[in-house]
A and B are shown apart, each in its own frame.
Chain A
């Protein structure tokens, strides 16, 4: 690792208990501990979070935008997975 080219980390912040961690941004840091501290200083200067995850950027595998349509296609022809697919006689309650 060169001294200037620190690895990239993706930062996820939980804004309060009960909510999931949400991607906030990224930063460079030499190790996980400093990544956490830098993330605190960079992304939670106004109490935006109660918990932070830092993940090495290189550890993330993303789906490709070019394959977006075929990749998600299997869900497209299955409208029966939605409750609105089904016809229910008028007046039937609690269904």
Chain B
């Protein structure tokens, strides 16, 4: 989580200082800390590119949590029982919380929440392409929990050891909460799979649609991944995209069997020699198209996000007016980030 407040307000003297001797010394200390698996904290000197990479990644992560509320919230009013409804509401609320933890972590790097939201709304920062797919049936809520949250967990567990302290601490908290998300999805799919033939078919259809986009969540193949090598050197990332994707496939195959559902890949089979599953080629054209904004729901997601922000303006204004009227100087004593 974000570290002590004051830490984010100040920057080291090295920031913007043209003294190359000092910069070299700071760089050396930074490299040594990373090499020793120590954590970098907000007030420590860090290379500009490291800071920029973290802001980009944490912002994209935060935006994904917030946009990710939409496809699932789509089913809250139509959940088939009060139990399922309460679970789904708790899950969507968690996603909002995860977004806030991550925005806090990003803010420790010297950016502001308003700036991040503006960039999201303007399409200048991305969110995970997975959330541009529609939730067509109730079974999609299960498939998202099992596959999408499952892929997210596979990605996020190593991030708990990320070299940047506030990000790593946010991930610890998120991973703890995430496991309920995956289990509720699995349980939901299992209930459908064991239900009527129609329910079983609905579960299978959802898995068929979400499987490939879930594999794409790990990002492009290693040889096409723009930031991977540098991020691994900085220990922001601990495993390559393809490594994590393979791990996820190997985890899912037996889980699908227990569900009584199949994964939509005719080439999926155990490879004795590798001790891993072989799987078919991923349609990267689709991935890049969705990323560029041409997915089924890109327009809808960002329009809805902007509308929610605009329609919430009066709440923010009222709260600020109330604070100014009743607590006098609170706004000043709790001054904004420098």
| CB-CB contacts below 8 Å: B280-319 with A | 313, 316-317, 319
Q: How would you classify the secondary structure of chain A's contact residues: helix, strand, loop or mixed?
A: mixed
**Is B12's CB under 8 angstroms from A66's CB?**
yes
> B97 to chain A: which residues have CB within 8 Å?
41-42, 45
> B100 to chain A: which residues have CB within 8 Å?
27, 42
**Is B324's CB under 8 angstroms from A1's CB?**
yes
Given contacts A57-B334, A62-B43, 6 further A-B contacts (CB under 8 A): A3-B316, A3-B320, A7-B331, A26-B107, A41-B97, A58-B5
Q: How would you classify the secondary structure of chain B's contact residues: helix, strand, loop or mixed?
A: helix
**Is A58's CB under 8 angstroms from B320's CB?**
no
**Is A25's CB under 8 angstroms from B334's CB?**
no
| Residue among A4, A46, A55, A61 making CB contact with B316, cutoff 8 Å | A4
| CB-CB contacts below 8 Å: A45-72 with B | 45-46, 55-62, 64-66
Q: A5-B114, A7-B334, A58-B334 are in contact. Are A27 and B4 (CB under 8 A)?
A: no
Is B330 among interface residues, defined by CB-CB distance under 8 A?
Answer: yes
| CB-CB contacts below 8 Å: B1-44 with A | 1-10, 12-13, 41, 43-44
The size class of the interface chain B forms with chain A is: 35 or more
Complex Cα–Cα for A1 and B327 (A):
12
What total of chain A residues lie within 8 Å of the partner, measured CB to CB? 38
Complex Cα–Cα for A67 and B37 (A):
21
Interface of A toward B, CB cutoff 8 Å: 1-10, 23-35, 41-42, 45-46, 55-62, 64-66
For B325, the closest partner residue in chain A by CB is A31
> A9 to chain B: which residues have CB within 8 Å?
334
Complex Cα–Cα for A7 and B333 (A):
9
Q: A58-B9, A59-B333, A59-B334 are in contact. Are A32 and B43 (CB under 8 A)?
A: no
Complex Cα–Cα for A65 and B3 (A):
13
